[in-house]
Amino acid sequence: MRRIIVLAIATLGAASAGNCAFARSASDQRGEHVFAACGACHSLEADRHMTGPSLADLWNRQAGSLQSFER
């Protein structure tokens, strides 16, 4: 009886882990799709500006404070 319970728990755990990996993959794909609209004007490389400023090191940076982008 204990073997059946342990086997059932292990099976559910493996199935749950597989679903989480799929969800992350779908989320990554969605993020790439959403960023495509931003990527037309913004780069993710530091100091590589396009129509808009680079988005590298964006977090904790005040808007309009990037010295290397002069617009």
Q: Read off the pLDDT of residues 8-65 as tens digits, 9 standing for 90 and up.
A: 566 555 545 444 555 567 888 888 888 889 889 999 998 899 998 988 888 888 888 8
At 22, list the tokens. Answer: 């799929």
The b-or-e profile of 10-23 (16+ CB within 10 A means b, else e) is: eeeeeeeeeeeeee
* The overall pTM is greater than 0.85: no
Give residue 28's pLDDT. Answer: 85
Nearest residue to 56 via CA among 69, 67, 48, 45: 45
Q: Are 37 and 51 in contact (CB under 8 A)?
A: no
Contact 48, 37 (CB under 8 A): no
Q: How confident is the model at residue 4 (pLDDT cuts 50, 70, 90)?
A: low
- pLDDT for the residue 29: 87
Residue 6, pLDDT score: 56
